[in-house]
Structure 1
Amino acid sequence: MLLREMQEEDLDEIERLEGVLFTPAWSKEDFLHELKTNDYAHYYVLVDDKIVGYAGFWYAYENCELTTIGIDPNYQGKGLSKLLMDYGLKEGHNKGCMNYSLEVRVSNERAIRLYKKYGYEICAIRKDYYADHEDAYLMVRKEEK
């Protein structure tokens, strides 16, 4: 299993996976915009003959935001989200991040359990956050110096 930076040539496969995993899904153009124009954005992929997972983080000064994480359904339950989280959070630590945040659907209990294992706590509800009007939890964690 290889973990590396996402590249433009990965985007067709990322868009396919995104469509399987999320509604509404980010488009290829959304990811391309992040890769090309957002200096704070860093996206990673897990490759096992094909892309089986991906994650995005924004590192801005002392802040790190998890923007997306997804694992191919055929590879879920094998600890791959943990690999991506470990790597992304380590990069945040190396860049001096102290404040970590993310939004997650209130119905996504599996993801919420994962984030709590990493020390994230629910601190607010964002009403009608998603296009289908589902609420999101804002989850945060602080890192000590």
Structure 2
Amino acid sequence: MFITKALLEDIPSIYRMEKDIFPFAWQEEDFVYEISENPFSSIYILENDKELIGYIGVWDLLDQIQITTIAVKEEYRKLGYASKLLQYCIDLSDQKGYQMMSLEVRISNKKAIALYQKYNFEIQAIRKAYYQDNHEDAYLMVRNKKEEEICR
């Protein structure tokens, strides 16, 4: 099991998973743009024996990491893989010396919210009608490095 940066050839697998998981999925062109044209974007994939288990998208905004998407195949949920992807990005943020990470999450997605809170993300604001499919609100969640983490 390993995490690596996604390449263009990974997009068909990522897109299939995206469509299976999300009611309003990113389009294949969105992933192409994020991987090949957006200089701030990276997508990291978690694989086991060449099978895509999950992925996480991030924007490196030069002073913080913003998580844009995270997904794990249904049959691999509750096995800690979302945590592995999230921890990978936290470690990336730490390596870059960033003090903050952020993300948006549907207010109805209690499992994701609990996961993010486990990693010290806190609700900072509500983004009204954030999601295009049903105009659901999103929480803006932010993880600030704690003082003891900075002093290490």
Deviations 1:93-117 (A, max 9, x none): 1112112110000000000000001
Q: What is the CA RMSD across the aligned residues, in angstroms?
A: 1.0
- C-alpha separation in 2, matches of 1:42 and 1:93: 16
- C-alpha separation in 2, matches of 1:43 and 1:99: 19
Once the two structures are TM-superposed, the CA of residue 28 in structure 1 deviates from its matched residue by 1.3
Question: Which runs of at least 4 in structure 1 moved beyond 6 Å after TM superposition?
Answer: none
In structure 1, what is the equivalent of residue 117 of structure 2? Answer: 116
Q: Report the AA paired with residue 142 of structure 1.
A: N
Deviations 1:2-25 (A, max 9, x none): 211111111111111001111210
- C-alpha separation in 1, matches of 2:5 and 2:37: 15
Q: Within the alignment, does 1:141 sit opposite 2:137 as a pair?
A: no
Gaps of 5+ in 2: none
Deviations 1:38-76 (A, max 9, x none): 111121101123101000111122211011100000111
Once the two structures are TM-superposed, the CA of residue 139 in structure 1 deviates from its matched residue by 0.5
- C-alpha separation in 1, matches of 2:58 and 2:97: 14
**SS of equivalent residue, structure 1 residue 85:** helix
- C-alpha separation in 2, matches of 1:10 and 1:74: 20
In structure 2, what is the equivalent of residue 39 of structure 1? Answer: 39
Gaps of 5+ in 1: none
- C-alpha separation in 1, matches of 2:38 and 2:93: 16
- Output aligned runs, 1:1-145, within 5 Å: 1-49=1-49, 50-131=51-132, 132-143=134-145, 144=147, 145=150
TM-score normalised by length of structure 2:
0.92
State, as a whole percentage, how many aligned pairs show the same letter: 42
Maintained 8 Å contact 1:59/1:97: no
Q: Report the AA paired with residue 9 of structure 1.
A: E
**SS of equivalent residue, structure 1 residue 77:** coil
Aligned residues: 145
